[in-house]
């Protein structure tokens, strides 16, 4: 565990330290870029924070490569080299999009390229955790893996709309995912607790927190396309890698909830971005627009328009992410008879809190309407 804490610290320090430098560069290079109608801020804020995040990730990966404890992870140098190349491709693509606002098909092509690099390097979905269907054909393994990585990259990108939202959700999700991966590694091999998923989540946790120091409301910098895409890539790679670990545990298959954690947990971690992505595609398609066109209909927009402050909306979405992600992780170890009532009560409380502005507005409208009726009746008697 101490090695993983070191990885978190390295990623945090590098990301937090480089973000001000990146911000000063972005302030000079992006000053003339006009604000968009959907932007939630009234002034220019640099969008190159993902550069510092990638620097933190790669620095942590470099330190991890020198640790004897993690030697088992680095037996596949092609896989780690693929990760570095994919991050560099995302770096170039993300910076270019933040500066020049690339067409959606250029971004999609770059995302597919980064995912292909990872798939060719060995990150492939060889088994589907639902029923444990084996995917024997290499072509299908690559196709499914690329689809999952591109889907996750876009899901995270869709939720990146308020100060600190994407970085905070990434930190919460990676923290929950790390707990699961580390515990799973201890079950798989009692002598070797090194694990690719745990390493990636420790790196992402540190880099996200380091950036969040500068990105929480009021934000001094945004992560931009670079940060959103690298978060999605790292999460998807970890999700694919963990299916191999669970395969090693015959006792998990078909018999209990942990057998389905490789598919439940990644979905739980990105459930809010994924829901936002699906709703956005449906909404835009119904209006006859491209699914990749931008608008102001995201979940965070609805919360702000409903009466929440920017910070309040972000904290509320943090709450939902924490309840869903850590609640799903708890399914593996906590008795369902104990967990489900507590989890259900917490989710119900979060739902009531979410709806409270609309409930208060509805009650206020009813009270006002009642007062008007009384006034009319009193005037009629007079």
Three-state SS at 128: strand
Which H or E run contains 135? none
219 or 12: which leads in pLDDT: 12
Q: How many CB atoms lie within 10 A of CB 85?
A: 15
Beta strands in 86-203 (DSSP E): 127-128, 133-134
Q: What mean pLDDT do residues 235-248 have?
A: 75
Ramachandran region, residue 122 (left: φ > 0; alpha: ψ -120 to 50; beta: rest): left
Q: Tell me the pLDDT band of 126, cut-offs 50, 70 and 90.
A: confident
Q: Tell me the pLDDT tens digit for each residue of 180-231.
A: 888 877 776 666 667 888 999 999 999 999 999 999 988 889 998 999 999 9
Q: How far apart are CA 206 and CA 211, in angstroms?
A: 9
CA-based R_g, the chain, Å: 23
pLDDT category of residue 250 using cuts at 50, 70 and 90: very low
Of 375 and 177, the one with more pLDDT: 177
To the nearest 10°, report the CA torsion of 338, 340, 343, 345. Answer: -100
DSSP 46: -
Each domain of the chain, given as residue ranges in start order, spans: 2-333, 339-382
Most confident by average pLDDT, 23-32, 191-200, 243-252, 340-349: 340-349
Helix (H, G, I), strand (E, B) or coil at 34: coil
Count how many residues are written for the chain: 382
Write the pLDDT tens digit of every residue in 74-97.
Answer: 888 888 899 999 999 999 999 998
CA 262 vs CA 55, 81, 252: distances in Å? 28, 24, 11
Can you tell me the distance from the alpha carbon of 164 to that of 59, in angstroms, rounded to the nearest whole number? 22
pLDDT at 293: 60
Q: Are 124 and 255 in contact (CB under 8 A)?
A: no
Stretch among 18-32, 118-132, 136-150 having the lowest mean pLDDT: 118-132
Choice among 53-57, 279-283, 317-321 with the minimum mean pLDDT? 279-283
Provide the angle, in degrees to the nearest 10, between the axes of the packed helices 310-330 and 165-188: 10
Mean pLDDT value of segment 106-130:
87
What is the C-alpha to C-alpha distance for residues 2 and 69, in angstroms, rounded to an integer?
10
The Cα 163–Cα 39 span in angstroms is 11
> In which element (H, E) is residue 64 found?
helix 49-64
Residue 251 has pLDDT above 90, yes or no: no
Grade residue 147 by pLDDT with cuts at 50, 70 and 90. very high
What whole-number distance in Å separates Cα of residue 27 and Cα of residue 90? 21
Count of C-beta atoms within a 10 Å radius of residue 353: 13
Check whether the bond before 327 is cis (ω within 30° of 0): no
Question: What is the separation of C-alpha 342 from the centre of its chain, rounded to a whole number of angstroms?
Answer: 25
- Determine if residue 157 is labeled as part of a ligand binding site: yes
**Does residue 12 have a pLDDT over 70?**
yes
Q: How far apart are CA 108 and CA 132, in angstroms?
A: 30
For residue 226, the model assigns a pLDDT of: 93
Cis peptide before 107 (omega within 30 of 0): no
SS3 133: strand
**pLDDT the model gives residue 120:** 92
Residue 179, CA distances (Å) to 89, 173, 182, 330 in order: 29, 10, 5, 10
Structure tokens given for 290: 């491209």
Chain centre to alpha carbon of residue 126: 23
Which residues lie below 8 Å from residue 294, measured CB to CB, with a gap of 6+? 36, 38
């Amino acid at each position: 565990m101490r090695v993983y804490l070191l990885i978190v610290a390295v990623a945090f320090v590098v990301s937090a330290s480089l973000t001000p430098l990146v911000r000063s560069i972005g302030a000079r290079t992006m000053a003339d870029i006009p604000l968009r109608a959907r932007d939630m801020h009234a002034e220019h804020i640099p969008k190159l924070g993902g550069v510092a995040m990638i620097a933190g990730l790669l620095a942590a990966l470099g330190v991890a490569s020198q640790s004897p404890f993690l030697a088992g992870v680095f037996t596949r140098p092609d896989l780690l080299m693929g990760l570095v190349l994919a991050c560099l491709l995302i770096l170039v693509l993300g910076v270019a999009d933040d500066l020049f606002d690339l067409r959606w098909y250029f971004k999609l092509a770059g995302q597919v390229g980064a995912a292909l690099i990872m798939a060719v390097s060995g990150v492939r979905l060889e088994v589907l955790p639902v029923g444990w269907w084996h995917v024997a054909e290499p072509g299908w393994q690559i196709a499914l893996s690329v689809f999952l990585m591109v889907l996750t990259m876009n899901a995270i990108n869709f939720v990146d709309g308020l100060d600190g939202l994407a970085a905070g959700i990434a930190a919460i999700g990676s923290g929950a995912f790390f707990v699961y991966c580390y515990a799973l590694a201890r079950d798989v091999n009692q002598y070797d607790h090194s694990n690719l998923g745990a390493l990636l989540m420790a790196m992402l946790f540190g880099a996200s927190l380091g950036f969040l120091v500068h990105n929480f409301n009021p934000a001094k910098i945004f992560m931009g396309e670079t940060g959103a895409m690298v978060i999605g890539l790292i999460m998807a790679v970890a999700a694919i890698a963990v299916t191999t670990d669970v395969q090693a545990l015959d006792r998990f298959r078909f018999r209990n909830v942990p057998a389905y954690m490789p598919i439940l947990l990644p979905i739980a971690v990105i459930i809010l971005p994924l829901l936002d992505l699906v709703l956005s595609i449906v909404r835009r398609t119904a209006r006859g627009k491209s699914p990749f066109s931008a608008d102001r209909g995201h979940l965070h927009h609805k919360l702000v328009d409903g009466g929440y402050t920017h910070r309040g909306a972000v904290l509320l979405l943090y709450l939902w992410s924490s309840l869903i992600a850590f609640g799903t992780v708890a399914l593996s170890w906590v008795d369902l008879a104990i967990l489900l009532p507590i989890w259900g009560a917490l989710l119900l409380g979060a739902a009531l809190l979410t709806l409270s502005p609309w409930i208060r507005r509805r009650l206020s409208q009813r009270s006002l309407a009642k007062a008007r009726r009384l006034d009319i009746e009193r005037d009629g008697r007079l």
